Structure 1
Amino acid sequence: MADEAEELTAGGRTVRISHPDKIYYPRPGYTKRDVAEYYLTVGEGMTRALRARPTTLERYPEGVEGGSFFQKRAPKNHPSWLRTARISFPSGRYADELCPEEPAAILWAANLGGLVFHPWAVRAEDTEHPDELRLDLDPQPGTAFAEAVAVAVELRGLLDELGLRGFPKTSGGRGLHVFVPIEPRWDFAGVRRAAIAVGRELERRMPGKVTTHWWKEERGERIFLDYNQNARDRTIAAAYSLRARPHAPVSAPLTWDEVPDADPRDFDLRTMVTRYRERGDVHADMDERRYSLEPLLDLAARDESEGLGELPYPPDYPKMPGEPSRVQPSRAKKETD
């Protein structure tokens, strides 16, 4: 492996890439240079997705087959031009996280082995009020991407009925994400409540196909709408972010017309470069309008009036008001037998 560093220029800034021949994805043989050049190519689109968002880095300094860790706090040696924002966690602790605002910031993080970028749904200017509703369609055992696509199509129709616009992307794995840009008027609990309402409405419209059950043993062969991705300190890989899987897949933004025939295996480090050069950022207009959550909160109020209450939070969260027991159903049954 060569020891010489290389330099890449992005937006007038020069970023040093050390050990550019280090292998990051051994099976296709992609190097750190390949990763950096990929992020340089999609830099404007990815900056749009990350701009001013506190971002956790998923770092693989020795490549995807080496050790990894999540870095929430900005490295102490970060350059002065790289913005940070202070955010708080459910535990009450806080951290100053990176807030990429230009492609050079993405390259700088990639040089540290930052392969995957996990942005919060808030901006640095207001870290208490999300400006994205994030709907994560997660295939469970016995289902696959095709089933997630069917749910996404139904979801699009629901959003259209409510006057909302969603922006779909592949997860980089087996699932789909749909982001709705929203007015930053509601706290995390309010946005999560809206996501629960979406999941419950999809359960009604697609019986046996969609679930909001938190416990895996109750989900069955259905698509799980992970409403807790809207809880504080939960993040989803950014549009254009690489994923740490052997073939270097990408979380690929899609148009709705592409969704029915999409195949997540078609989007990786190489193919996304070609796609981006040909089509640019297909979500470029995502920030042009912010939508109200009120139609979804009206659905939530209806559900609650009919006896549908709160759902469980992740286990590392403090107990929340009105939350049901976090005891796994099968275990709870054993304890009462």
Structure 2
Amino acid sequence: MSPMTEVEGRRLALSNLEKVLYPATGTTKGEVLHYVATTAGAFLAHVHDRPMSFLRFPDGVEGEKFFAKNPPPGKPSWVKTVEVTRRSEEGRARQVLVSDLASLMWAANLVVEFHVPQWRAESPGVADRMVFDLDPGEPASVVECCEVALWLRERLGADGLGAWVKTSGSKGLHVLVPLEPTPSERVSEYAKAIAVEAEAELPGLVVHRMARALRGGKVFVDFSQNSASKTTAAAYTLRARREPTVSTPVTWEEVAEGRSGAAGGDSLVFRAQDIAVRLERYGDLLGPLLNLNRAGRLPRR
């Protein structure tokens, strides 16, 4: 029988706590749940009111992985859901809202990465942030991503937009911009134009198209996650990588240092055990994304 625990008055069955999910580091499911619980305050702020998608890996990172938007079987009645419109033949369906610690721990017990759209459930398809996903094609690395991120920060600043940054938890970076509520189509158009401009300004470094054949040694500036139907790995989520890496907010000073490549291949890689110390040192570096006074307005083009 799974051990029971109580979280904010809700009873949860937490299963297989000794199961190793990350063989490279021996990280167990119990350690994953401890990480989620200790970062919950910052995590919940960035997924609040956003329909949740899950990349599940219940048998660990070396086992089967599958992406799910529908509420998982056995969802407790107290876990909130919201009806959302799906593209094409899918029509309307329900997705989970992770709105409190109990819901977060229930979801984490399923062993998941957390992914969210750039809009909130109360305003579907109306973005309150913009994202650029910087994905390096080998032999490019996070070092090249740092160079592109710094260019983006300056370029966005020229349009009066503030930018913040986090690691993807995989190989690259996410540059995030808080916005006044703006239709996702408009955000996508602007983000694409910036990506095209980045490629023109940095032709040996940037590509704005997804085709693998174009991406060797360059950074793919993926603007497509601004589409209303797309999602991005949430801040502070663990990733299903070889080690328990985390999508981690970083400072622009760290990005500038990362550009130098002085830290080698491990530059800007943060694991579960690093995050509590960073939160204590810096607080939530993405906190400004939640400040309405920081929200920018896209320029007319």
TM-score normalised per structure 2 = 0.90
Rg larger for:
1
Q: Distance in 2 between matches of 1:12 and 1:286?
A: 30
Number of equivalenced pairs: 292
Give secondary structure in 1 for the equivalent of 2:233.
Answer: coil
Partner of 1:235: 231
- Structure 1 unmatched runs, 5+: 299-337
Residue identity matched to 1:22: K
Does residue 284 (structure 1) correspond to residue 287 (structure 2)? The answer is yes
Partner of 1:306: none
Map residues 19-58 of structure 1 onto 2, 5 A cutoff. Answer: 19-58=16-55
Partner of 1:255: 251
Contact 1:170 1:264 in 2 (8 A): no
- Indicate the percent of aligned positions where both proteins have the same amino acid: 35
Q: 1:161 aligns with which of 148, 151, 158?
A: 158
Does residue 150 (structure 1) correspond to residue 153 (structure 2)? The answer is no
Map residues 148-227 of structure 1 onto 2, 5 A cutoff. Answer: 148-186=145-183, 188-227=184-223
Q: Distance in 2 between matches of 1:225 and 1:203?
A: 9
Cα shift readout 1:142-200 (whole Å, capped 9, x = no counterpart): 311100000111111112111111110001121110111112231x3221111111112
Q: Taking structure 1 as reference, are residues 6 and 92 closer, same or farther at Cα in structure 2, changes over 3 Å only?
A: same
Give secondary structure in 2 for the equivalent of 1:131.
Answer: strand
Partner of 2:263: none
Q: Distance in 2 between matches of 1:14 and 1:275?
A: 30
Q: Taking structure 1 as reference, are residues 74 and 259 closer, same or farther at Cα in structure 2, changes over 3 Å only?
A: same
Q: Taking structure 1 as reference, are residues 265 and 210 closer, same or farther at Cα in structure 2, changes over 3 Å only?
A: closer
In the TM superposition, residue 40 of structure 1 has moved relative to its aligned partner by 0.5
Partner of 1:301: none
Partner of 1:135: 132
Q: Taking structure 1 as reference, are residues 265 and 283 closer, same or farther at Cα in structure 2, changes over 3 Å only?
A: closer
Contact 1:212 1:225 in 2 (8 A): yes
- Structure 2 unmatched runs, 5+: 259-265
More strand as a share of residues? 2
In the TM superposition, residue 14 of structure 1 has moved relative to its aligned partner by 4.8
Contact 2:142 2:268 in 1 (8 A): no
Does residue 99 (structure 1) correspond to residue 103 (structure 2)? The answer is no
Give secondary structure in 2 for the equivalent of 1:270.
Answer: helix
The CA RMSD over aligned residues, in Å, is 2.0
Give secondary structure in 2 for the equivalent of 1:247.
Answer: coil
Partner of 1:64: 61
Contact 1:22 1:32 in 2 (8 A): yes
Cα shift readout 1:104-163 (whole Å, capped 9, x = no counterpart): 22211011122x001111111011212221111111123111000001111111121111
Partner of 2:298: 294
In the TM superposition, residue 95 of structure 1 has moved relative to its aligned partner by 2.1
Cα shift readout 1:233-288 (whole Å, capped 9, x = no counterpart): 22111110001112111010112222122455641011123322443322123211
Judge which range, 95-104 or 85-94, deviates more.
85-94
Residue identity matched to 2:245: P
Partner of 1:83: 80
Q: Distance in 1 between matches of 2:126 and 2:2?
A: 44
Residue identity matched to 1:244: A
Cα shift readout 1:204-231 (whole Å, capped 9, x = no counterpart): 3323211212322234432111121222
TM-score normalised per structure 1 = 0.81
Give secondary structure in 2 for the equivalent of 1:294.
Answer: coil
Partner of 1:268: 271
Higher relative contact order (CA 8 A, sep 6+): 2
Partner of 1:330: none
Cα shift readout 1:43-71 (whole Å, capped 9, x = no counterpart): 01110111110110111111112212112
